Amino acid sequence: MRWLMFALSACLCGVSIAACSSASESVTSPSAVKCAVTATAAPTSFSAAGGDGTLTVSTARECQWTVAAAGNWIQLSGSTQGQGETTMPFKVTANADPSVRKGSISVGDQQVGITQDAATCVFTVNPRSDSVSADGGQKQIAVTASSPQCSWTARSNNTDWLTVTEGAQGTGTGTVKYEARTTTGPARTGTIQIAGAAVSIVQASGCRYTISPGSQAVATDGGSGSVTVNSATGCEWTAASQASWIAITAGSSGTGAGAFMFTVAANAMGVPARSGTITVNGQTFTVNQAAGPPCVYKIGGNSQAFPASPGGAWSIAVGTAPACSWTASSNAAWAPITAGASGAGNGLVTFTVSPNPPGNPARVATITIGPGLTFTVVQDAASDL
């Protein structure tokens, strides 16, 4: 109405100058309806891994807008202000948490909802296998989680000698402490289930062995005996002779409490008193045997005659047990030992007789083979030239 009244007034004021005429002009701003802004996104739902999306803004070309993301896991690319229609890329970062997250992108008063799936919790357990001594004790295992929100549990898998003492439940990164009881039995394996992973625990053998008796005396002609082995149930043992003259005749191996039997061969002539052992898993049983019979020696013949010339060579057979040693020596330079000056067991003593010089009387030499045996060498007299 104000513009109509202004035009009428102007006409009345200028009636004396000219014929009255009217004129009008109106100026308006863009209406609110004309600047309506619409925003859409594709996609609006993302997996836990995240991904790329596109925001589309629809409005008149002279209309301005601003854009903002609610949630730092929604990352906009490009300017946050603009005018008219446009498309804008955006990125959704990976979700490490085991919970769905929701955010939005606002364009003016428009809200575009963005949702992202929960992540699957990932756990790293270190070590995945462990060992403990027979004495047992406490040890620990580290748990690393992909998110502080990831919860886990730890428990022993029906193993009475393994106990989780700390960290039976946890969230995020943490530590599980466990204790193994002392054992006197064989090596054993148990399992602790931690954050869905099976951790194998191996405990060393705690088997301890005793034997009774610890030694035995055996006569020269040999003998036999038995030894009791004591150990916990399940503990395996083996008896092994460390001497060729001691033989295991029964029970060379066993489990838990048991016994083994042995025999000792007769000690041979000339063999001194001897000791041998049988070992049983670190334990030693000792056999002490008396010396063998004294050595007995025999020689082939008692004497041998030689002509004055050219003399000659001769061998004397020696008979005795393999362990019996002997020596041979001559008391005459003209009948020296040329082979077999010493030996053990059966053997030969060889000597050589030199020609008797012209005019020399008959002569006699003694070869001693010992201990205690003599052999006589006789050589004829030599005639004068």
What are residue 314's DSSP bridge partners? 351
- Can you give the CATH number for the domain in which 105 is found? 2.60.40.10
State whether 189 and 137 are in the same domain: yes
Structure tokens at 14: 């200028």
Domain membership flag for residue 342: yes
Domain membership flag for residue 186: yes
110 is in which domain, residue-wise? 38-116
In whole angstroms, what is the distance from residue 158 CA to residue 134 CA?
19
Q: Which amino acid is at 334?
A: W
Domain membership flag for residue 9: no
Nearest in space to 319 (alpha carbons), one of 290, 343, 353, 287: 343
State whether 159 and 174 are in the same domain: yes
In whole angstroms, what is the distance from residue 382 CA to residue 385 CA?
9
In whole angstroms, what is the distance from residue 136 CA to residue 182 CA?
5
DSSP run (H or E) holding 290: none
Q: Which of 53, 88, 116 is the last residue of a domain?
A: 116
Q: Which of 289, 315, 347 is the last residue of a domain?
A: 289
Q: What is the pTM of this model?
A: 0.62
How many domains in the chain? 4
State whether 345 and 372 are in the same domain: yes
Q: Which of 184, 203, 222 is the last residue of a domain?
A: 203
Nearest in space to 189 (alpha carbons), one of 179, 175, 177, 199: 199
Per-residue pLDDT tens digits of the chain, which is 385 residues long? 333 333 333 333 333 333 333 344 444 444 555 789 999 999 999 999 999 999 999 999 999 999 999 989 999 998 899 999 999 999 999 999 999 999 999 998 899 999 999 999 999 999 999 999 999 999 999 999 999 999 999 999 988 999 999 999 999 999 999 999 999 999 999 999 999 999 999 999 999 999 999 999 999 999 999 999 999 999 999 999 999 999 999 999 999 999 999 999 999 999 999 999 999 999 999 999 999 999 999 999 999 999 999 999 999 999 999 999 999 999 999 999 999 999 999 999 999 999 999 999 999 999 999 898 999 999 999 987 6
State whether 278 and 326 are in the same domain: no
In whole angstroms, what is the distance from residue 384 CA to residue 18 CA?
204
